[in-house]
């Protein structure tokens, strides 16, 4: 089963070129294509992605859910792999994902590790080892077979934030045994922590998760999150 990688972007010219080249080199014959679904970047994200060998599509709506659905609609492989622009999957990711599918899983992710030596961030790293919804997130990357993705109706574009949590909640309500956490680490940029304190980021995450679980409108969650961090 070959893999279509889908990357949602918005003003990621610094990260997208090296990421696409890395994925092409590491994906090998298992890689069908890399699709960059852009949300209307004002920088050179599109040109850089195309120059690195990705297929670029401009999403009609700027939000990760809409962009990832847009990319998935153009994908030609039966296995979809969603990767954020500031994440770096481990070497051999394609073989890892194919092995998980061969074991009977239909979806999954990696753990993550920040590209920082700050001791406090090791706690965040450790929590991604746990198979609980609050420890999951798009930064860990997400793979899913196309049939399962379509059965779940993809990402719900109502969620302009927390879109991965919503998708995984629906998946786990269906059958959480279909999901595997691969015991390797995705390296993720700590840029959010470079401009905000650890405590402030954790507070923002806690508030967002609480509002999500209370059924708060996603636009309000996103607005609250931006006010706390001015990041997303």
pLDDT at 131 over 90: no
The range of the structural domain enclosing residue 133 comes to 3-192
134 and 215 part of one domain:
no
How many angstroms separate the CA atoms of 227 and 55, rounded? 34
pLDDT number for residue 194? 83
What is the average pLDDT across 41-63?
Answer: 97
Whether residue 8 contacts residue 70, with contact meaning beta carbons closer than 8 Å, is answered with no
What is the average pLDDT across 109-113?
Answer: 93
Portion of the chain with pLDDT greater than 70, in percent: 99
77 and 178 part of one domain:
yes
pLDDT number for residue 232? 47
pTM of the predicted protein model: 0.94
Provide the pLDDT confidence category of residue 231 given band limits of 50, 70 and 90. Answer: low
Residues 152-179 as b or e (16 or more Cβ within 10 Å = b): bebbebebbbbbbbbbbbebbeeeeebb
What is the average pLDDT across 46-64?
Answer: 97
Provide the pLDDT confidence category of residue 230 given band limits of 50, 70 and 90. Answer: low
Angle, vertex CA 187, rays to CA 78 and CA 56, nearest 5: 45
CATH number at residue 93: 3.90.550.10
227 and 165 part of one domain:
no
Overall domain count for the chain = 2
31 and 43 part of one domain:
yes
What is the average pLDDT across 97-122?
Answer: 93
How many angstroms separate the CA atoms of 185 and 174, rounded? 26
188 and 216 part of one domain:
no
97 and 156 part of one domain:
yes
């Amino acid at each position: 089963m070959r893999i279509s990688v889908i990357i949602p972007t918005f003003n990621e010219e610094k990260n997208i070129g090296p990421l696409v080249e890395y994925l092409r080199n590491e994906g090998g014959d298992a890689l069908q294509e890399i699709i960059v679904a852009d949300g209307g970047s004002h920088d050179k994200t599109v040109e850089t992605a195309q120059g690195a060998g990705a297929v670029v599509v401009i999403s009609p709506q700027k939000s990760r859910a809409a962009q990832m659905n847009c990319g998935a609609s153009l994908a030609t492989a039966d296995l979809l792999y969603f990767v954020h622009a500031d994440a770096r999957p481990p070497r051999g990711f394609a073989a890892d994902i194919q092995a998980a599918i061969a074991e009977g899983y239909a979806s999954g992710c990696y753990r993550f590790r920040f590209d920082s030596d700050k001791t406090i961030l090791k706690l965040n790293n450790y929590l991604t080892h746990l198979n609980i919804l609050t420890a999951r997130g798009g930064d860990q990357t997400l793979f899913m077979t196309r049939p399962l993705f379509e059965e779940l109706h993809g990402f719900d574009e109502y969620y302009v934030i927390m879109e991965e949590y919503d998708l995984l909640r629906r998946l786990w309500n269906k059958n959480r045994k279909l999901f595997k956490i691969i015991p390797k680490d995705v390296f993720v940029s700590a840029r959010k922590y470079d401009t905000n304190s650890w405590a402030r980021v954790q507070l923002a995450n806690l508030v967002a998760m609480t509002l999500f679980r209370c059924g708060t409108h996603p636009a309000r969650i996103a607005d609250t999150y931006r006010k706390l961090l001015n990041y997303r």
